[in-house]
A and B are shown apart, each in its own frame.
Chain A
Amino acid sequence: MKRALTAAWLVFLFSIPLWMQSLYIIHVLVITGIFIIAAMSLNLLLGYAGQLSLGHVAFFGIGAYASSLVSLGFSVHVAPEIVVALEPKPVWMAIPAGILFAGLAGWFIGRVAFKVRGAYFVIVSISFAEVVRLVAVNWVELTQGPMALNNIPPLTLWLPGAGEHTFWKKPENYWLVLTVAVLSHIVVRRLVHSRAGRAMIALRENEPLASSVGVDITRCLVLTAVVSAAMAGAAGALYAHYVRIVDPDVFLFIYTVTMVIMVVTGGKGTLAGPIVGGLIFGLLPETLRAFEIAPELQWILYGVLMVLILYFLPDGIVPAVRKWREQVRAGVAAEGK
């Protein structure tokens, strides 16, 4: 029953471009999908390991930049005499490179930042993202600074039956993002239900206790950070090759906030949470646009909504719905007697 429902959902999601005429809506769905992948990665850290990382956009941006740079090639003076150069590589090699670099950044941050907890960790993660952003703005030779990286090639893959195929069109990119999203979901699911995932949750609930029963806290947190960062990097790489332009604004704090809102609204620490939250906050701006609301007002609404959700649904939508359904079921059972 449950499996059939999942399959039906997947078929529905994959079929959207076949009957949806509006390319604009497909575009919105692609961007939403990319943000959902990022939100899922944040959910690992925030929801399961209980670490509020407000620098998550750094991994997204590093993935985007690394992947674009590998596909475009670069040459940089490391010292006055030494030049590091890279020939342009095909995109199917660039995206894994983006994921790899984001994962490395996650490893580094994990080693360094998890020495501190709570408010301190939050501030370190924000600082990290800001430093990375300033590097992207100022290291013009590598990143083009505010001039942005242009003409990033889209992905070319060898597909069975179709030969070499380049992902120029929106529906193709939609399928690509959806596939990656499903894969990410499976990764998160397996991880959370594994030994490491249980260790993570134990750590979130009670760190001294978890440590006393033999959970290696640092290893566990670093592992989570690496997986989470790599996944955010994948989202960033997909973004770069879809939008085909990357500038330092991908590091803006507001994107982290968007991811956090998605996770918190949907329900942190639940598998469906980031998807529900991501769909709401991915599609909401487009709905609001129909009413021709000023963007500032839209952000004000975001802020107010965030506060209201924290007051009234502190656990998020998914746990609230689950609870409500259980109550209904209990009510039905009581009436049956």
Chain B
Amino acid sequence: MLGGTYALLGIGLTLIFGIMRVVNFTHGELYAFGAYMMYMLVMLLEVDFFASLVLAVMLGVMLGALMEIVLLRRLHSADIDTKMLVMIGAWIALQNTEQLLWTGVAKSIDNPFPVEPLVIGPVSVAWNRVFVFGVVILLIVATYALVNHSKLGKAMRATFQDRDTAALMGIQIGTIHTATFALGSGLAAAAGALLGPVLVAYPTMGDLAAAKAFAIVILGGLGNIVGATAGGFILAFVEELGAGYISSGYRDAWGFVIIILVLIFKPTGLFAQKERVG
């Protein structure tokens, strides 16, 4: 389950970096945004849990599109550092807005699943986790389908390979960028909306999520969706093993250790295809 949500975060981030060349520091905030939207809809407005989930993701998509149009659209020719700094500014502003609106106290979100766990032989799993896992797999498959088998996906992949040529072929780069950022943000919000009810929602929850998403993306190779999916599961696995056998205090350090090791020994990521040179 953890691996799946990590993978969702990683896929969103990797799409945005691969296609737009933007290191998206607000990714974690979109994740927190998803969780807070769930909190607001379910706990304060008492909307149905499943309807809230759909709404939270749609709001995430809209926020992502808005940010792209307002912040990034006019920076398309700026260098990567400038974009990165703008995203850091946006990240600070967003995170503190969350803090201002919902205070620093962690919020828990009710879910409609039975408390009795699902028991299969010797394994028992909580129902809400089963649900999260199911939705995550569904979303990952849907993203694959969208990127690999739709016209929009084709345009995205073309932009990824060669932006200028894609533009010459009549692809609206601006629209593709907005769509990509919205899709990536939607996936992050989905991860937050799904995990929020399992864990709790708090303003800085996005920081660690973003850091882990970076680790996953680097593990899989920037811009590589298959790599990001595998990376998500690998990171979750390493964290659990590390927490179980070495020290739970360092659980969150594994992501960073992975980042450093991968970048030093195999900077293209573990799942890189051969790059064409020339």
Contact = CB atoms under 8 A, between A and B. Distances in A.
Contacts of A52: 81, 84
B249 A137 contact: yes
A115 B267 contact: yes
Nearest to A304: B93
Nearest to B211: A130
A310 B89 contact: yes
B247 interface: yes
A122 B89 contact: no
Interface string B72-95: 001000101110111011111111
Specify which of B17, B89, B249, B259 lies most central, judged by the most chain A CB atoms within 10 Å of its CB.
B89
A74 interface: no
Nearest to A118: B80
A253 interface: yes
B264 interface: yes
Main secondary structure of the interface of A (DSSP, over half): helix
A313 to B, nearest CB: 12
Interface string A307-337: 1001100100000000000000000000000
Given A119-B84, A124-B259, A297-B100, A303 B89 contact: yes
Nearest to A128: B260
Nearest to B253: A134
A308 to B, nearest CB: 8
A176 B82 CA distance: 35
Candidate in A115, A116, A120, A135 with the most chain B CB atoms within 10 angstroms = A120
A82 interface: no
Interface string A130-158: 11001101100000000000000000000
Given A130-B253, A307-B71, A307-B90, A123 B96 contact: no
> What range describes how many residues of B lie at the interface?
35 or more
Given A112-B264, A120-B218, A300-B100, A307 B253 contact: no
Number of chain A interface residues as a range: 35 or more
A126 B259 CA distance: 10
A215 interface: no
A260 B88 CA distance: 10
A303 B85 CA distance: 10
A260 B89 CA distance: 11
Given A122-B23, A122-B84, A300 B17 contact: no
Interface in A287-304: 294, 296-297, 299-300, 302-304
A130 B247 contact: no
Contact of A310 (B86, B252, B255): B86
A127 interface: yes
A112 B85 CA distance: 24
B218 A123 contact: yes
Contacts of B74: 311
B256 interface: yes
Contacts of B255: 127
B97 interface: yes
A297 B74 CA distance: 26
Q: Is the interface of B mostly helix, strand, loop or mixed?
A: helix
B92 A257 contact: yes
Contact of B89 (A118, A135, A294, A304): A304
A44 interface: no
A299 B257 contact: no
A134 B252 contact: yes
Contacts of A112: 260, 264
B213 to A, nearest CB: 11
Contact of A138 (B82, B92, B249): B249
A310 B263 contact: no
B91 A124 contact: no
B202 interface: no
B267 A300 contact: no
B247 A138 contact: yes
Interface string A253-296: 11001001000100000000000000000000000000000101
B259 A119 contact: no
A296 B102 CA distance: 11
A196 interface: no
Interface in A89-126: 112-113, 115-116, 118-120, 122-124, 126
Interface in A164-186: none
A253 B256 CA distance: 14
Interface in B223-278: 247, 249-250, 252-253, 255-257, 259-260, 263-264, 267
Nearest to B98: A296
Contacts of A264: 85
Interface of B: 17, 23, 71, 74, 78, 80-82, 84-86, 88-97, 99-100, 207, 211, 214-215, 218, 222, 247, 249-250, 252-253, 255-257, 259-260, 263-264, 267
Given A126-B214, A306-B88, A311-B74, 16 more contacts: A112-B260, A123-B263, A124-B260, A127-B211, A127-B215, A127-B259, A131-B253, A135-B253, A254-B92, A260-B88, A300-B97, A300-B100, A302-B89, A303-B91, A304-B89, A306-B92
11 contacts: A119-B84, A124-B263, A128-B260, A131-B257, A134-B253, A137-B249, A294-B100, A296-B96, A299-B93, A302-B92, A306-B86
Closest 8 pairs between A and B when the two form their complex, measured CB to CB? A303-B93, A306-B89, A303-B92, A127-B256, A307-B89, A138-B249, A299-B96, A296-B100
